[in-house]
Chain A
Amino acid sequence: MSTPFLSVQDLTVDFHTEDGVVHAVDGLSFGVEKGTTLGVVGESGSGKSVTALAVLGLHSPETAKMSGGILLDGRELIGAPRSVMERIRGNKAAMIFQDPLTSLSPYHTIGRQIGEVFRRHTGASRAAARDRAIEMLTRVGIPQPKLRVDDYPHQFSGGMRQRAMIAMALVCDPDLLIADEPTTALDVTVQAQILDLLRDLQEQTGTAIILITHDLGVVANTAHEVLVMYAGRAVERGTVREVLGEPHHPYTWGLLASMPRLSTPVDAPLRPVRGTPPSLINVPSGCPFHPRCDYPALAGPELCRTERPELSPRHGHGDACHLTLAQKQEIVR
């Protein structure tokens, strides 16, 4: 089996803080192929964003200790020199962030912020970069791009800002695009437009996309594969159909059950996953989900508390849970 375009192997990210070591990501492995979208879901603090920032090498080496492997197109990124990472960022691998208002510089025009990425990585002239910025604004559907290129972010609406962010991320035709909750700060109609835009652009360019979100609806509509994260680990992985259609992990069940549906009565209470996300300084022993899980007794008395389940099988639809497949099917039924 060949290595995927982006291959993350046994990634660990620890932050050393005054309160102790935060195990933000703990032994995470996944891969993304070109032209496909991996949806990464999980609660806040499950390590989604930390993983994204790790791929681009955006953690400060002084606070974050990383180990494992991040292979982009066969090249190891962990421990790569800063100059190499600076050449990759914005060029081969780009990122768009959650809040486009704070993520764009208020002091520079949209056109300049898009153009400078292009100039930085291609050495283009100022004029060429400006033309490229206008071209990118056209591609992401900003009306009157020739006029809006000289606007500042505060003159754009929320949806237009996120379009501008996408234009900025795609200006150098990256092979990998990481979108960290790109639609969370936007209203629902704009959200759909942005996701459509990402899908269209992916069809044109064949970019690999990592879509980080806590919205399973977004994943269902946009992603090809899904990675469910809990406490810095992958608890379930598979295609969208597999994970959302036949979920195997109790945490995935909880996430799906917590989503209100149009068919549920208006007065029915919401059904959150019970308990709170664990502290990443003192991660629960064994399966980190066991304190919140409804079924540890089924798997055997002490198993869930003492032994950490591995993601299995290693390829295809896998989950990290001690329950047997038969037990899971029984519960789901």
Chain B
Amino acid sequence: MLRFLTRRAIGAVLTLVIIAAVTFFLFFAVPADPARLACGKACPPELLEQARHNLGLDQPLFAQFTAWLTGIFAGRDYAGLGHCPAPCLGYSFVNRAPVLETILDRLPVTVSLTIGAAVIFLLFGVATGIVAALNQGRPLDKITSVSSLVGSSLQIYFVGTLALYFLVYENQILARPQYLPFTEDPLAWAAGLTLPWVVLSIIFTAGYTRMTRSTMVEQLGEDYVRTARAKGMKARSVTLRFALRGTLTTVITIFGVDLGALIGGAIITETTFGLQGLGRLSINAVTDSDLPVLMATVLVAAGAIIVFNIVVDALYAFIDPRVRLN
């Protein structure tokens, strides 16, 4: 297991460096000048040159990239801003705020949004999927499959806006979506995020219902499920102990990928509900040509996906003895 994790960790770091490099050089392929944006509209040439120098943009591209990379591991010194200790992600081009702090400030919003929604869509999606599979072909199954089709066709900005209008502004049934730190007031935290959680989970729930249903139907047809019935095991135990076990493997795979992607930023949800999470941060970084922030959000997003993939692979070993690595 330790060897597996070490190998995967090295692979993860390499992947991240490659992703960072690709992002970095793609950024400069875009014909936007960060220095001009930083300097303002009426910017005389000498000031523009000064801004370019301050942002380090007058250096060769490769030198800029290695400076950024070594900054993460060893820290780095900035003219006029002093030393930035490792892990140094630099300072925003736009407001000179330290990027690491900005990320750490925004990350809890996105993590809270993700965790809450994930709990809802995982539990609800898997449960309805199981019910549908066990009632295969009956009305309950058909109702489930139609509603999951409808659910997965909905768009967050559409449902979210309608929900905001009817449930929050018109009728005050739910609290206005906002992020309040969990550590200060867990109830207010949950109340502020309820609507985003529900809306974000609607679309995912539908996917999980359909995936659970189809995998479960497949599992119920497996030979070893038939054996369990031939042994006289109770119907419920056949479902839960035998068929569900195989279904979990598939569900966890997709769940890991989804979680990773969501931690990178639920851009549409955050925008719809005005939450200041990583998703909005990354979108703003792109429009502002804010390279240091953009690099950091890409790193977090890619890192989350890689980490969750490793977690999923490790979980396989617990679920399926055939994958155990000894």
Q: Which residue of A lies closest to B243 (CB)?
A: A105
- Residue A70 lies at the interface, judged by CB distance under 8 Å to chain B: no
Please tell me if the beta carbons of A86 and B321 are within 8 angstroms of each other in the complex: no
A243 to chain B, nearest CB (A): 28
Chain B residues whose C-beta falls within 8 Å of the C-beta of A99 in the assembled complex:
223
Contact of B231 among A90, A106, A152 (CB under 8 A): A90
Binding stretch for chain B, among A114-122, A202-210, A224-232: A114-122
Give per-residue flags for B289-326: 1 if the beta carbon is below 8 A from chain A beta carbons, else 0: 00000000000000000000000000000011110000
Q: Which residue of B lies closest to A102 (CB)?
A: B223
Q: Which residue of B lies closest to A62 (CB)?
A: B137
A82 to chain B, nearest CB (A): 7
Chain A residues whose C-beta falls within 8 Å of the C-beta of B233 in the assembled complex:
86, 90, 116-117, 120
Give bound CA distance, A82 to B229, whole Å: 11
Please tell me if the beta carbons of A89 and B231 are within 8 angstroms of each other in the complex: yes
Q: Which residue of A lies closest to B319 (CB)?
A: A107
Please tell me if the beta carbons of B321 and A87 are within 8 angstroms of each other in the complex: no
Q: Which residue of B lies closest to A155 (CB)?
A: B321
Give bound CA distance, A95 to B319, whole Å: 27
Chain A residues whose C-beta falls within 8 Å of the C-beta of B227 in the assembled complex:
97, 103-105, 165, 168
Give bound CA distance, A86 to B226, whole Å: 13
For chain A residues 149-207, which have a beta carbon within 8 Å of chain B? 152, 154, 165, 168
Chain B residues whose C-beta falls within 8 Å of the C-beta of A120 in the assembled complex:
231-234
For chain B residues 235-249, which have a beta carbon within 8 Å of chain A? 235, 241-242, 245-246
Chain A residues whose C-beta falls within 8 Å of the C-beta of B319 in the assembled complex:
107
- Residue B222 lies at the interface, judged by CB distance under 8 Å to chain A: yes
Contact of B222 among A102, A165, A168 (CB under 8 A): A102
A239 to chain B, nearest CB (A): 29
Give bound CA distance, A165 to B231, whole Å: 11
Give bound CA distance, A120 to B321, whole Å: 24
Give bound CA distance, A154 to B326, whole Å: 13
Give bound CA distance, A105 to B321, whole Å: 11
Among B227, B229, B231, max chain A CB count under 10 A is at B231
- Residue A88 lies at the interface, judged by CB distance under 8 Å to chain B: yes
Give bound CA distance, A46 to B319, whole Å: 39
Contact of A86 among B224, B234, B322 (CB under 8 A): B234
Q: Which residue of B lies closest to A105 (CB)?
A: B224
Chain B residues whose C-beta falls within 8 Å of the C-beta of A270 in the assembled complex:
none
B215 to chain A, nearest CB (A): 14
A154 to chain B, nearest CB (A): 5
With A99-B223, A104-B224 given, is the CB distance from A88 to B229 under 8 Å? no
- Residue B104 lies at the interface, judged by CB distance under 8 Å to chain A: no
Contact of A102 among B224, B228, B229, B322 (CB under 8 A): B224
With A154-B321, A154-B322 given, is the CB distance from A87 to B232 under 8 Å? yes
Q: Which residue of A lies closest to B246 (CB)?
A: A107
- Residue A94 lies at the interface, judged by CB distance under 8 Å to chain B: yes
Give per-residue flags for A204-238: 1 if the beta carbon is below 8 A from chain B beta carbons, else 0: 00000000000000000000000000000000000
Please tell me if the beta carbons of A106 and B322 are within 8 angstroms of each other in the complex: yes
Chain B residues whose C-beta falls within 8 Å of the C-beta of A117 in the assembled complex:
231-233
Give bound CA distance, A97 to B222, whole Å: 12
Chain A residues whose C-beta falls within 8 Å of the C-beta of B231 in the assembled complex:
89-90, 94, 116-117, 120, 168
- Residue A58 lies at the interface, judged by CB distance under 8 Å to chain B: yes
- Residue A252 lies at the interface, judged by CB distance under 8 Å to chain B: no
- Residue A56 lies at the interface, judged by CB distance under 8 Å to chain B: yes
Give bound CA distance, A82 to B236, whole Å: 12
Contact of B228 among A91, A105, A154 (CB under 8 A): A105
Chain A residues whose C-beta falls within 8 Å of the C-beta of B230 in the assembled complex:
56, 58, 89-90, 94-95, 97
A177 to chain B, nearest CB (A): 11
Please tell me if the beta carbons of B321 and A97 are within 8 angstroms of each other in the complex: no
Chain B residues whose C-beta falls within 8 Å of the C-beta of A116 in the assembled complex:
231, 233
Contact of B322 among A56, A85, A152 (CB under 8 A): A152
Among B227, B246, B319, max chain A CB count under 10 A is at B227
Give bound CA distance, A107 to B224, whole Å: 10
Give bound CA distance, A106 to B137, whole Å: 28
With A97-B227, A154-B322 given, is the CB distance from A86 to B242 under 8 Å? no
Please tell me if the beta carbons of A105 and B242 are within 8 angstroms of each other in the complex: yes
B161 to chain A, nearest CB (A): 43
Give per-residue flags for A67-108: 1 if the beta carbon is below 8 A from chain B beta carbons, else 0: 000000000000000100111111100110101001111111
Chain A residues whose C-beta falls within 8 Å of the C-beta of B232 in the assembled complex:
85-91, 117, 120-121
Give bound CA distance, A58 to B322, whole Å: 28
Chain B residues whose C-beta falls within 8 Å of the C-beta of A154 in the assembled complex:
321-322
Give bound CA distance, A315 to B224, whole Å: 38
Please tell me if the beta carbons of A107 and B223 are within 8 angstroms of each other in the complex: no
Query: Can you list 8 A-B contacts (CB < 8 A)?
Result: A90-B230, A90-B233, A94-B231, A97-B223, A102-B224, A103-B224, A154-B322, A168-B231
Complex A-B, nearest 9 residue pairs according to Cβ-Cβ distance, in ascending order: A90-B232, A89-B232, A90-B231, A102-B223, A105-B224, A103-B223, A152-B321, A95-B230, A117-B231
Given contacts A86-B233, A90-B232, A103-B224, 9 further A-B contacts (CB under 8 A): A56-B230, A58-B230, A87-B232, A89-B230, A97-B230, A103-B226, A107-B246, A120-B233, A165-B227
